[in-house]
Amino acid sequence: MRKFFRIFTLLILAFSFTSCIEIVEEIKINTDLSGEYHLYLKHNGLGFLFNSIGQNIDLSGLDDGLQKLEQQNGISNLKTNINPKKGKFSIQFDFSDDNSLNRAFYAALGVKKRFYHKNFLKISQSKIKRPNLTPYLVRYTKSQGLLDQLPDENILDYVKYRYRVISSENIKHAIPESYLSKKQEYDQLYPLKSLLLHRQSSKSIIYLEK
């Protein structure tokens, strides 16, 4: 997963000069609290840039992380579409419950989940809770020196992170609020600059009609 994040970052650095980029994390939740996880990149980049960018992105080591992800109990139907030359970056899989999803995240990062580790997502019949992951994102970008590679921090204004949850149950209300008209969808869009430089909280709680 670290390798995948690294590839994301390289593409963002390359496309930020010509494109608006959106990192999308989409989670569909079924009535039995199983679901589907999808992490992908959206952009309106110019096609002729793909080949030159793809030549500079190293994919070595990525297969190991994906293999660890696929081997986790409760994870199935792993689908990937990772082709830098075509600007394709997508990881999608099914999970049996939130414990399986959280273990899979840590396994992909090369860490065995312990009881004291923070959950990336907590799902119950009454609510869906995402903790504030901004501090972890900030620490990662600093440890990799990613912000230092930006010629201008204003480039981050063109990069967004979208967190979307599609529930099988109607949403009663949420914190922070979502303004989608569909009652079973929650959607929040964060400027990456607000997360990395201003440390905006990414915490959310979705309350379901039960």
Angle at 173 between CA 172 and CA 176, to 5 degrees: 160
CB 182 within 8 A of CB 166: no
The span from the CA of 49 to the CA of 15, in Å, is 8
Written as tens digits, the pLDDT of the chain (210 aa) is: 455 555 555 555 555 555 578 889 999 999 999 999 999 988 765 444 444 444 545 555 567 778 888 888 999 999 998 776 666 778 999 999 999 999 888 887 777 777 778 899 999 999 999 999 999 888 877 876 767 766 667 777 778 899 999 999 999 999 998 866 678 999 999 988 899 889 999 999 999 997
pLDDT in the model for residue 156? 76
The span from the CA of 77 to the CA of 191, in Å, is 31
- Continuous segment of H or E residues that includes residue 91: strand 88-95
How many CB atoms within 10 Å of residue 106? Answer: 19
The span from the CA of 117 to the CA of 115, in Å, is 6
pLDDT in the model for residue 28? 98
CB 164 within 8 A of CB 187: yes
pLDDT in the model for residue 84? 67
> Among residues 120, 45, 121, 135, which one has the least CA distance to residue 88?
45
